[in-house]
Amino acid sequence: MVSNTFSSVRDSRSDAGKGNPMAYIRMSLMTPRSGQEEELENLLDRLIEYFHGKSGFIAAYRLSPDPHSRDDRIGRISIWESEAHANLMSSDQHDLAVQAEIQRLAVDATHQESSFVGTHSDHGGSDRASSDPA
Assign residue 44 the CATH number of its domain: 3.30.70.100
In this model, does residue 108 exceed pLDDT 80?
Answer: yes
Give the burial class of 79: count Cβ atoms within 10 A of its Cβ; 0-12 exposed, 13-18 middle, 19 or more buried.
buried
pLDDT digits (tens, 9 = 90+) for 61-78: 999 999 999 899 999 999
**DSSP code for 33:** P
Task: Confirm whether 79 is domain-assigned.
Answer: yes
49: in domain: yes
In a domain, 47, yes or no: yes
How many independent structural domains does the chain possess? Answer: 1
Q: Is residue 2 part of a domain?
A: no
In a domain, 50, yes or no: yes
Beta strands in the chain (DSSP E): 22-30, 57-63, 74-80, 112-119
Q: Which domain holds residue 51?
A: 21-119
Q: Is residue 130 part of a domain?
A: no
Rounded to two decimals, what is the model's pTM? Answer: 0.74
Residue 90 in domain: yes
Q: For residues 81 and 23, is the Cβ–Cβ distance under 8 A?
A: yes
Among 2-11, 24-33, 101-110, the least confident range: 2-11
Q: Is 108 within a domain?
A: yes
